[in-house]
């Protein structure tokens, strides 16, 4: 993936940096400016090859701050919504498809450093704030194994409407969403909870990394992998990020990211680049690197390894 990094001084500044970089990478700015009440923050609407997304900054002031402060919801960062189009005559929350999209959220803190990774089809954003804290958000065209079966996606470690955090690419409804648009079907899927016209009983659903919350028995295999001392280096240490479709009791491979992986952080340092043969990987925690090591949900001591383009 192409790599770019920049310091930011606020959530609004972070939106501006993302906008500037994505335009360089071929994204189109459809609208960028203040929300109707400028105290709320900036809004950005972008598109590329028929994909549409809306971003807005969230800072010190928000109509919901007093309410959500009681619940620990995100208060400083960037919210991203998956959209089905753009209408310049309606408000941010009335954009096409907005009502079905999760409010995926990139935490910014007061200030920090943003790492932007891009391919022709999708984007990964990672922030490092408050010294050792991290947050990640990904969006774009879902890389599917069979052509003309996919659509656009959004996934994050943080969600505006959730008090917990999740492993990125988990199939959790507030942290993951897909808008399928192909020759066979058009509709939304948000992990285990489907929205819009997509139904688990008629079309199946998309599943990925198990829900990363305590007490979920389905993460046992993940725990086994990250506890393996033999998987601390080399290609064997890279855990693929896969999605599956589920229909009539059967799972089928559906999507795999070729340049983003989970990786154990036991012996790796955040922000460093590691070489395996001719390949270079930059690694980050999903939340923070824990001392002592934390292999419980939602951490698993798993970070992200991003395959960098050759210089």
- Taking a C-beta distance cutoff of 8 angstroms, is the pair 143, 122 a contact? yes
Rounded CA separation 154/257 (Å): 13
Edge-first strand order for the sheet with 104-107 is 28-34, 42-48, 51-58, 77-83, 104-107, 158-159
What pLDDT sits at residue 198? 37
What pLDDT sits at residue 59? 74
What pLDDT sits at residue 209? 56
What pLDDT sits at residue 85? 93
Q: What is the pTM of this model?
A: 0.87
Rounded CA separation 20/34 (Å): 16
- Taking a C-beta distance cutoff of 8 angstroms, is the pair 177, 154 a contact? yes
What pLDDT sits at residue 251? 72
Nearest to 17 by CA among 142, 152, 108, 103: 108
Instruction: Report the Cα 138 to chain-centroid distance in Å.
Output: 3
* Biggest CA-to-CA distance, the chain: 57
Tokens 């360089």 belong to residue: 24
32-83 per-position pLDDT tens digit: 998 876 667 899 999 999 999 999 998 754 455 444 445 455 568 999 999 9
What pLDDT sits at residue 275? 92
**Domain spans in the chain, listed from the N-terminal domain onward:** 2-307
Residues of the chain with pLDDT under 70: 37-39, 60-75, 183-184, 190-205, 207-236, 246-247, 291-300
Nearest to 137 by CA among 156, 161, 154, 123: 156
Sorted by sequence, the CB contacts under 8 Å of residue 279 that are 6+ apart come out as 307
What pLDDT sits at residue 74? 55
């Amino acid at each position: 993936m192409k790599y770019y990094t920049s310091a930011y001084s606020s959530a609004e500044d972070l939106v501006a940096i993302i906008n500037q970089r994505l335009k360089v990478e071929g994204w189109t700015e459809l609208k960028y400016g203040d929300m109707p009440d400028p105290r709320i923050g900036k809004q950005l609407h972008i598109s590329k090859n028929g994909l549409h997304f809306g971003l807005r900054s969230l800072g010190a002031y928000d109509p919901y701050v007093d309410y959500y402060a009681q619940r620990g919801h995100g208060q400083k960062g960037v919210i991203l919504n998956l959209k089905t189009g753009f209408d310049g005559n309606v408000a941010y929350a009335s954009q096409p498809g907005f009502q079905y999209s999760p409010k995926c959220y990139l935490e910014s803190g007061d200030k920090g450093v943003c790492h932007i990774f891009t391919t022709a089809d999708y984007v990964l954003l990672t922030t490092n704030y408050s010294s050792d804290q991290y947050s990640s958000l990904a969006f774009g065209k879902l890389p599917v194994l069979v052509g003309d079966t996919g659509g656009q996606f959004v996934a994050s470690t943080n969600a505006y409407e959730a008090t917990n955090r999740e492993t990125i690419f988990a199939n959790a409804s507030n942290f993951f969403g897909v808008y399928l648009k192909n020759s066979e079907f058009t509709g939304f899927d948000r992990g285990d909870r489907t929205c819009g016209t997509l139904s688990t009983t008629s079309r199946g659903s998309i599943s990925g990394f198990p829900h990363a919350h305590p007490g979920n028995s389905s993460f046992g295999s993940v725990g086994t992998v990250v506890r393996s001392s033999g998987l601390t280096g080399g290609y064997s240490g890279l855990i693929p990020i896969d999605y599956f479709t589920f229909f009539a009791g059967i799972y089928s491979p559906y999507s795999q990211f070729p340049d983003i992986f989970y990786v154990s952080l036991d012996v790796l340092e955040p922000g460093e680049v590691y070489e395996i043969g001719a390949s270079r990987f930059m690694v980050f925690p999903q939340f923070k690197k824990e001392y002592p090591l934390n292999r419980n949900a939602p951490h698993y001591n798993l970070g992200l390894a991003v395959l960098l383009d050759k210089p």
